[in-house]
Structure 1
Amino acid sequence: MNTNLPTSSLPRVVIVGCGFGGLRLAKELADQPVQVVVVDRNNYHNFQPLLYQVATGALEADSIAYPIRKIFAGQQNFFYRLADVQRVELDRNTIVTDIGEISYDYLVLATGSVTNFFGLDTIEKNGMQIKSVPNALNLRSFLFQNFERAVLEENPEKRQALLNVVIVGAGLTGVEIAGSLAEMRKDVLPQDYPELDLKQMEIYLIEAGGAVLGPMSKEAQQTAHKYLDDMGIHIRLNTSAKRFEDGKAYLSDTDFIRTENLIWAAGVNGAALPGLSEHQVTRNKRINVDHYNLVMGTTNIYAIGDVANMVTDAMPKGYPMLAPVAIQQAEQLAANLGRRLKNESLQPFDYTNKGTMAIVGRNRAVVDLPKNIHFGGFFGWLTWLFVHLMTLVGFRNKVVTLISWAISYFSSDKALRLIIRPYKRRDYKKHSGQSAAEHLNATPQYNPTPPALQAPIAK
């Protein structure tokens, strides 16, 4: 019981998940009279906004991941356990994990989100996604494996399918990876693969809605659309992917695109834990909470970030699954836990929107700020770089990322074109980590689509 955690007279706060919300909450509780226990299936915090750069060879994985124990080194009230959480037992104030049971006085669910394929089995089985570091590494390997196969392929249609890339979902993830692949097609691949005519490589961006970067301003949508057009990306709006099999991405029963590379960036569900009642969990697996992030029907269980469904008059469908929401909820919850320990009145959560941004490519970005301020281009690109660089965890990661970006900018090169671990589709269940059971401790999704297609300006 309690997986060798020390006995303490202090209340124990167990935090499940060390994404943006869980990480900030654990830090904010450093000076509170509590024992903080973080449980996560990974031993690192993953900076999801830059996963697409790992997938396209611009950054290595250790540039955007940072060890949890190193982050909290020196925090006396902090303890970490590497574990998969299997369920919550409400009546016993206990979580059950694969390494044993952990009791709690207060439980905070910061489990984030998981990919939602909307029941499209062939896409879930054969497509790729970018939800975790393993996903990004698998995608990078898979793309370059297919380029190598294209060099050997004599059949024109099969070679075309190996080169083509279809991206489903024109939110932040879809737009950013489309732009990154377009730059790679222009500057990198012709050097590596002189045997191939890379002009034949087609990149398609498929979006079920009527615009790219849906919830962003009309100005941002139009600018981003123009950037994508200028980069030679085929945009298909008001179009849905139906299935993906036999080297074809079907947009209807008769309309298809030949490709072996389909990247799914079109939706997420909350990563609710088993043990909660059906009244506490919504249809999209988010957990119903009140304005203090307290799970409905409980007195000591909270949920923050992507997994939390906090409905307000302004947000009838709940707050969007964005990193700043998770961070601000964590800060408010830490303060409220301190107030609760002192028997003081709690303060309800009130989200402050600091703006949204998206990057399309080098010198191409769009930014929306409060008070109807919009800009893009080179200044927007610099703003995006600065905000993301400052939000990275760890000095080393900031320095390494800055150097990598500088080299890529001046040389137009992405040096990390390594197939370290070849990826095969039959290994999907083993490597993708996208089943609900395997993702109980997933980190929050920064830019799900739909409903939230925009990237926030992180605090």
Structure 2
Amino acid sequence: MLQVDKLSLNIPATTKPRVVVIGGGFGGINLIKKLSGKHFQVVLFDRQNYNGFWPLLYQVATAGLEPDSIAEPIRKLFDEDFEDFHFRLVRVTGVNPVTKTVNTLIGELAYDYLVIATGTKTNFFGNEQIKQYSFPLKQIPHALDIRSQLLQALEQASMTKDETIKQSLLNIVIAGAGPTGVELAGSLAEMRKYILPGDYPGIDFSKMNIYLVEGLDRVLPPMSPKASEMAHRYLAKMGIIIKVNTLVESYDGEVVKFKSGEQIQTQTLIWAAGVTGALIEGLPTESVERGRILVNEYNQIKGYDTIFAIGDIALMKLEDYPKGHPGVAQPAIQQGKHLAKNLHRNLRNEPLQPFKYFEKGSLAIIGRNRAVADLPGNIHLGGFLAWMAWLFVHIYYLVGFRNKLVVVSNWMYRFFTYERGNRLIIRPFVRKDDQVGQEFVNRYRED
């Protein structure tokens, strides 16, 4: 195998201003699409070679969609017609604002403009035990791990006579009742009702408990109280056990302990309880607040004219958004497009224009014909209309015609048949210290 020290970034020299973008998410991709290769050389660094549509990640975890239906190769997004664009699959280790360079595992690269669009990562709030044993849901590999864990737990439950162990396998705890937790809980409840009894006729699914745990006093805290109330009602009707004002204290892979003293035996704790910025080393500490990078109204990192941050990683404190913009796709998309215009303005020696966020609303789906929506003008929708709005928005923003077609086909098939066709354990998941799980997998896995 080729040694790392034999590799290099291999970026051609240029006389055009070089824009280096770290992160190929919603913000980074929309920025690059609006930059002209005739005026800039654009270099994108990312640790994965695809752009994912993360709002549908929970459907990969619950066997509703395959990973390639919510992701598109980055190189395919910018074909040969996009002049002077260069993508490198590499991890950035830091930046040096003094020398204006970006450091990676295989070398460094000078920049004229630097855009940090690294998004967020799972926040375990310093609890290393929970980090070790729980299942986060921020990346496609996480979704595949959850899918394998859920299916393996059911396979084991169908083969054990020990009722205590079986109940532990059938208990699923989701920590965090934001959009990810709520949508995941709803999807699991539908599987429990329509799909799993046919697959596992020997299991009594009335004993399969789905717990949704939230530290605050309501589900969907980022949305309106009305949306939260409707979502709570839908979830309860679907048989999901909701615990608000409840904090997870520890999890050792077998027992979830809450700060109240309550305990739940489970093999599966899915951690959707919070995120923090995926920070880059090299920026001064005064540029970071609450895990995000402080920026001004032009998305410039405070103290630097040529370093920008956009999307979830950026903290732009304005009168209307004293805690920054919400950590959803729209601010990242809009900031990416706006920053591209400002970079063109800067090239023409024109003054930069401040960013103004257009709030398009918030959506969350709970299940078939059940969703909630907060729309501009203080409009709140629930039920079928919100569900249709959710479907339309997610198809519209999904990247790639093939992905749109595949997702729509899957959704139509599921709507009329109540079926999910991706219940495959392709990549068995076993924790390093789980001897029982390893023995179970060894029974059917070829060497």
- Normalised by the length of structure 1, the TM-score is 0.91
Q: CA-to-partner distance for each residue in 1:346-386, whole Å, 9 max, x for gaps?
A: 11111110111100001000111111111121121111011
Partner of 2:334: 328
Q: CA-to-partner distance for each residue in 1:408-427, whole Å, 9 max, x for gaps?
A: 11111111011111111229
**Using CA pairs below 8 Å that are at least 6 residues apart, which structure has the higher relative contact order?**
1
Give 1:418-457 correspondences, 5 Å limit: 418-426=424-432
Partner of 1:38: 44
CA apart distance, 1:31 = 5.7
Q: Is 1:125 matched up with 2:109?
A: no
Q: CA-to-partner distance for each residue in 1:33-55, whole Å, 9 max, x for gaps?
A: 11111111100001100000000
Cα RMSD of the aligned pairs, angstroms, is 1.4
Q: Which one-letter code corresponds to 1:383 in the other structure?
A: A
Q: Which one-letter code corresponds to 1:10 in the other structure?
A: K
- For the residues of structure 2 that align with 1:286 and 1:246, how far apart are their CA atoms? 31
Q: Check the 8 A contact 1:57/1:140 in 2, yes or no.
A: yes
- Alignment partner of 2:286: what SS? coil
Say if 1:427 and 1:315 are closer, same or farther in 2 by CA, change over 3 A.
farther
Q: CA-to-partner distance for each residue in 1:404-454, whole Å, 9 max, x for gaps?
A: 1111111111110111111112299xxxxxxxxxxxxxxxxxxxxxxxxxx
| Residue of 166, 172, 178 corresponding to 2:179 | 172
Q: Is 1:315 matched up with 2:321?
A: yes
Say if 1:46 and 1:59 are closer, same or farther in 2 by CA, change over 3 A.
same
% identical equivalent positions: 51
Q: Which one-letter code corresponds to 2:70 in the other structure?
A: I
Partner of 1:295: 301
Say if 1:384 and 1:253 are closer, same or farther in 2 by CA, change over 3 A.
closer
- Any stretches of 5+ residues in structure 1 without a counterpart? 429-459
Q: Which one-letter code corresponds to 1:38 in the other structure?
A: L
Partner of 1:201: 208
Q: CA-to-partner distance for each residue in 1:195-237, whole Å, 9 max, x for gaps?
A: 1111110000000111111131222111111100110000001
Q: Is 1:217 matched up with 2:224?
A: yes
CA apart distance, 1:253 = 6.3
CA apart distance, 1:120 = 2.0
- For the residues of structure 2 that align with 1:319 and 1:402, how far apart are their CA atoms? 30
Q: Check the 8 A contact 1:170/1:213 in 2, yes or no.
A: yes
CA apart distance, 1:389 = 0.7
- Any stretches of 5+ residues in structure 2 without a counterpart? 1-6, 435-447
Partner of 1:160: 167
- For the residues of structure 2 that align with 1:186 and 1:383, how far apart are their CA atoms? 24
Partner of 2:410: 404
Q: Check the 8 A contact 1:2/1:103 in 2, yes or no.
A: no
Partner of 1:382: 388
- For the residues of structure 2 that align with 1:324 and 1:64, how far apart are their CA atoms? 17
Q: Which one-letter code corresponds to 1:26 in the other structure?
A: I
Give 1:10-409 correspondences, 5 Å limit: 10-30=16-36, 33-73=39-79, 74-245=81-252, 247-252=254-259, 254-282=261-289, 284-409=290-415
Say if 1:333 and 1:427 are closer, same or farther in 2 by CA, change over 3 A.
farther
- For the residues of structure 2 that align with 1:2 and 1:192, how far apart are their CA atoms? 50
- For the residues of structure 2 that align with 1:426 and 1:298, how far apart are their CA atoms? 44
Q: Check the 8 A contact 2:23/2:117 in 1, yes or no.
A: yes
Say if 1:205 and 1:28 are closer, same or farther in 2 by CA, change over 3 A.
same
Say if 1:8 and 1:129 are closer, same or farther in 2 by CA, change over 3 A.
same
Higher mean Cα deviation, 23-32 or 267-276? Answer: 23-32
- For the residues of structure 2 that align with 1:339 and 1:67, how far apart are their CA atoms? 30
Q: Which one-letter code corresponds to 1:250 in the other structure?
A: K
| Residue of 411, 415, 419 corresponding to 2:421 | 415
Higher mean Cα deviation, 151-160 or 132-141? Answer: 151-160
- Normalised by the length of structure 2, the TM-score is 0.93
Say if 1:136 and 1:71 are closer, same or farther in 2 by CA, change over 3 A.
same
Say if 1:32 and 1:326 are closer, same or farther in 2 by CA, change over 3 A.
farther
Q: Check the 8 A contact 2:38/2:83 in 1, yes or no.
A: no
CA apart distance, 1:8 = 1.3
- Kindly name which structure, 1 or 2, has the bigger radius of gyration based on alpha carbons: 2
Q: CA-to-partner distance for each residue in 1:54-110, whole Å, 9 max, x for gaps?
A: 000000000001000001112113111110001101121111112221111100000
Partner of 1:436: none
Q: Spell out structure 1 runs of 4+ moving beyond 3 A.
A: none
CA apart distance, 1:299 = 2.1
Q: Check the 8 A contact 1:30/1:78 in 2, yes or no.
A: no
Q: Check the 8 A contact 2:37/2:83 in 1, yes or no.
A: no
CA apart distance, 1:263 = 0.5
